Chain A
Amino acid sequence: MSEVQRKKYSDKDKNAIFDQEFMPHIDSMYNFAYRLTFDEDDAKDLVQDTYLKAYRFINSFERGTNAKAWLFRILKNSFINEYRKKSKQPSKVDYQEVETYYNSDNVDYNMTSDLRVDAVKDMLGDEISNALNSLAVDFRTVIILCDLEGFTYEEMAKILDIPIGTVRSRLHRARNLLKEKLKGYAQNMGYDTEEDQ
């Protein structure tokens, strides 16, 4: 960071920003971290690392701008750089290959699902959570950001460092995969999901 930036906030300012703009998001941060790592200790470490980085780079944060998106971006980058190495996620090379596939903006919208609205309504929280957790991390992430945390496409594009068109297509694919999982549960619950012959 530059010398000019370093002097931007006084210690008092820093504490105020930290307490008023950063800490209120700890719930969302922890839930995001847990859904990425599936481990309580890893989630705690990830959130802690994120807050320490946020404090260290606080001068690059513009007061009054979207602190939640800024923090989520740091958390997601920490996860990719540190935690992904530790876990059994695909190696970097594999990941990039998959990325290229995900990043294609050509989406097949023709796939319609015969999943029933009523079946989805009757599902339990655990079933929804399990279906979400079973998705590959990049698909899981867009759903968490959009549906659980309410970020806009533009905010998601910034958090994930991808174009808005990619956000849109990845979300569409993610929800299709989720519907497939939910369809499996619906069949187990005895809902008829097949089209009438």
Chain B
Amino acid sequence: MDKNFNSSSERKLNCRDVGKCFKLLESILDGEADLESKALLDEKLEKCQPCFEHFHLEKVIREVLKTKCTKRVVPVELADTIRQKIQEIK
């Protein structure tokens, strides 16, 4: 028996409470959830297809924002200018 087919076919195709579930998933991804909520996560991911898909999409969105968003280099003189201005107001 195809393992992948088997595991995904066990998931419900409709989420019973999208609002509550997605709120929970997003809190977990943002590092805001308590242990009890985290315990619920595995169950959701295993049993509910919409939750599974939402979780992975939200996760990858956060990852690309964190790792790929182009960062600008601070102009070299900025720190010196700030220190100089502070000397002036002292």
Contact = CB atoms under 8 A, between A and B. Distances in A.
A75 interface: no
A52 B89 contact: yes
A15 B83 CA distance: 10
Contact of A153 (B30, B64, B81, B86): B30
Categorize the interface residue count of chain B: 35 or more
Categorize the interface residue count of chain A: 35 or more
A182 to B, nearest CB: 8
Given A23-B79, A52-B86, A175-B58, A143 B65 contact: yes
Interface of B: 18-19, 21-23, 26-27, 30-32, 50, 53-54, 56-58, 60-62, 64-66, 68-72, 74-75, 78-79, 81-82, 85-86, 89-90
Chain A contact surface mostly: helix
A196 B75 CA distance: 49
Contacts of B23: 107, 109, 168, 172
Interface string A99-133: 00000000101101101010011011110110010
A30 B74 contact: yes
Top 4 A-B pairs ranked by shortest CB distance? A147-B65, A125-B68, A109-B19, A109-B22
Interface stretch (A1-9, A43-51, A65-73, A88-96): A43-51
B86 A51 contact: yes
Given A132-B65, A147-B65, A121 B82 contact: no
Given A48-B81, A52-B86, A115-B57, A132 B68 contact: no
A44 B75 contact: yes
Contacts of A109: 18-19, 21-23
